[in-house]
Structure 1
Amino acid sequence: MKVAIVHDWLTTWAGAEKALAELLNCFPQAEIFTTVNFLEKSAISALQGHVIHTSFIQRMPLARRWYRHYLPLMPLAIEQFDLKGFDLILSSSHAVAKGVISDPNAVHICYCYSPMRYAWDMQHQYLRQSGKEKGLISWVMRWQLHRLRQWDYLSAQRVDHFVAISSYIQRRIKACYRRESDVIFPPVEVEKFRYDQPRESFYLTASRMVPYKRIDLVIEAFNEMPDKQLIVIGDGPDYAKLAALAGPNVTMLGYQSDDVLIDHLERTKAFIFMAEEDFGILPVEAQAAGAPVIGYGVGGLAETTLNNVTALWAEEQTSTALALSIQEFEERKQHDAGAFEPLTCRQSAERFATANFARAIQSLVAKHIPKP
């Protein structure tokens, strides 16, 4: 079987790329198609041995740094790939990958991380955070997003079968595309974490520093609790602003290797997560490391953690609600040392092990492309 895996872009190795790696493990013969690839193939073992096709955006001026600015051209770029002769097309998509034009004889399965947030329900937040709510540039951007929504909906009708990463995204696929979907949770390498290490007194959060991750709320909450220590791991466009916001009890470590992140997850008192996330791999990794999660109990977090068992959910996405949840967490631990038990956290995380993902994907493909 000839397989094409289409991925939006290869610029960082994050959650979507980890899922891509497992798709490549399931289909080692697959060729990769992506708008841009600025990852060193030799440095990413999952990419080795695979042919990688890129679009004309790869050769555009300043594409390495400003590839997102070419978003209006990406629908055109993704449609230029020639997929004639492929039996199976797997699009790994949170933006444009699902928009490829497939061979009529092929089966196209989209593993959807989310419909484009900034083109659909988060448009107003996107414009507000970019300072483009008013003026001529605002109206140009609104028109571009309008056209992008039209293309996004129409291109979704080319997909034969949708797979959502969570029930939360399943509902969004239905709302945006009017399409049904199966749910297969993304893979998490739970086996690389130890869950029985001694716990220390610091809290931990880790994320790419972008607005919707709401690291600002986490820092604000700890600024009001100077007796509690917070460590923040991650980098991104908002790093300098967040570092300026941090009080003396907040340690900003910036980007760190996986080994450093794993070490902190295995030692932290609890992991803090206030984003309204589509799935959120880090809360699962925290549980795999035996750490309970304190965070905003909506979206993916409501599916990947168990409230009052492996997590404590804040009722609102505010720094005040987070501070109250941390206070409640400490009171429970003080009165019951066995609360939020590390082994229970680990068992919760094992639902999302890579082996479960691989079995589910291969079973789905076999259902739609039976062996001759």
Structure 2
Amino acid sequence: MRVAIVHDWLVTWAGAEKVLEVLLSLFPDAELFTMVNFLEVEAAPILRGRRIHTSFIQNLPGAKSNYRKYLPLMPIAVEQFDLKGFDLIVSSSHAVAKGVIPDPEAVHVCYCYSPMRYAWDMQNQYLKQTGNASGLKSIMMRWVLHRLRLWDFASAQRVDHFVAISEYIKRRINSVYRRDSLVVYPPVDCRKFDYKKTRKKFYVTAGRMVPYKRFDIVVEAFTKLRHLELIVIGDGPDFKSIKSMAGDNVHFLGYQSDQVLAGYLEHAAAFVFMAEEDFGILPVEAQSAGAPVIGYGKGGMAETVIHGKTGILVSDQSVDSLVKAIREFENERKGNETAFCAIDCHENALRFSRERFCSELEFLFDTVAKSS
């Protein structure tokens, strides 16, 4: 069976790429198709020796640093991939990868992280990021995004089977594409954490500092709770502005390796996270390391954190709600040392292990192959 794996783009090694890594391990002989590839082999050893096909966008001016500006060309680019002769096509998609035109005899399974947010609910953010929030150019771009939504919906109808990363995304796929989907949670490497280490009194938050991650809420809450220590790991465009609002009890470490992050998670009193994520790997990794999670109970986190057992979820993204939740957590731990215990957190995280992901996908692909 000839297999093609289609991924949106390869510029960083983040959550979607960790899923891609497992897909490539499941299909070691698969050929890889992507809009652009600017990853060094050292960052992704699994790509070494792999046959990788890129689109014409790879060679356009400034594509390495501004590939997102070519989003309006990506539907055309992804449709140019020649997939004739492939029996199974697996698209790893949050933008355009699912829009390939498959061989009529092929089966196309899309592992969908989200319907294209640039064209749908994140349209205004995309326009701001590209400098097209107002003016005549903004009107033209809004028309382009309108056309992109039409293409996005139409191309979704070419997919044979959708697989969603969470129940939250399953609902969005149904709402946007009018398609049903199966939920297979992304893989989390639970083996790299030691949940048995001694808990300390500091709290941890981590991630890329962009507006929707809501680091401002977390930092402002702990600035009010001056008797508690917060460790902030990560960088991004909002780093300086977030740091400027912090009290002396909030410590910024910037970008850190996975090993350093794991060390803090294994000792933290809790992990704090106020973003609305489609799934959210970090809260699961925190639980795997034995750290309970305090955060926003919407999106994927509503599915990965057990309220009252492996963490505390709040109903709105506000400083007051988070402060109240942290105080509740502190009181629970004082009154009962076994509350939010590390073993419960770790065992809950195992529901999202890499082994479970591989098993569920292998079963799905076997079923698809037998029915085609």
TM-score bin (small chain): over 0.9
Aligned residues: 372
What are the within-5 Å matches in structure 2 for residues 143-154 of structure 1?
143-154=143-154
Number of the residue aligned with 2:95:
95
Q: 3-state SS of the aligned residue for 2:118? A: helix
Please list every run of 5 or more consecutive structure 2 residues that lacks an aligned counterpart in the other structure. none
Partners of 1:239 and 1:233 in 2: CA distance? 10
Q: CA deviation at 1:118?
A: 2.7
What are the within-5 Å matches in structure 2 for residues 84-163 of structure 1?
84-124=84-124, 126-127=126-127, 133-163=133-163
What are the within-5 Å matches in structure 2 for residues 237-316 of structure 1?
237-316=237-316
Is structure 2 residue 344 aligned with structure 1 residue 344? Answer: yes
Q: CA deviation at 1:268?
A: 0.9
Q: 3-state SS of the aligned residue for 2:111? A: strand
Is structure 2 residue 52 aligned with structure 1 residue 52? Answer: yes
Number of the residue aligned with 2:12:
12
Is structure 2 residue 317 aligned with structure 1 residue 317? Answer: yes
Distance 1:130 1:62, change over 3 A: closer
Instruction: Give the counterpart letter for 1:19 in structure 2.
Output: V
Distance 1:137 1:322, change over 3 A: farther
Instruction: Give the counterpart letter for 2:228 in structure 1.
Output: K
Deviates more, 1:300-309 or 1:112-121: 112-121
Please list every run of 5 or more consecutive structure 1 residues that lacks an aligned counterpart in the other structure. none
Deviates more, 1:89-98 or 1:41-50: 41-50
Partners of 2:349 and 2:187 in 1: CA distance? 10
Contact map agreement 1:207 1:233 (CA 8 A) in 2:
yes
Deviates more, 1:303-312 or 1:243-252: 243-252
What is the TM-score normalised by the length of structure 1? 0.96
Deviates more, 1:118-127 or 1:212-221: 118-127
Alpha-carbon displacement from aligned partner over 1:115-140 (angstroms, at most 9, x marks no partner): 01232123345557878554333323
Partners of 1:195 and 1:58 in 2: CA distance? 43
Instruction: Give the counterpart letter for 1:263 in structure 2.
Output: G
Partners of 2:236 and 2:154 in 1: CA distance? 32
Instruction: Give the counterpart letter for 1:282 in structure 2.
Output: L
Instruction: Give the counterpart letter for 1:82 in structure 2.
Output: D
Contact map agreement 2:13 2:43 (CA 8 A) in 1:
no
> Could you tell me the percent identity over the aligned residues?
60
Distance 1:228 1:141, change over 3 A: farther
Distance 1:203 1:195, change over 3 A: same
What is the TM-score normalised by the length of structure 2? 0.96
Partners of 2:126 and 2:225 in 1: CA distance? 30
Contact map agreement 2:87 2:106 (CA 8 A) in 1:
yes
Partners of 2:269 and 2:174 in 1: CA distance? 38
Distance 1:39 1:128, change over 3 A: closer
Number of the residue aligned with 2:230:
230
RMSD over equivalenced CA pairs, Å: 1.7
Partners of 2:244 and 2:126 in 1: CA distance? 22
Q: 3-state SS of the aligned residue for 1:118? A: coil
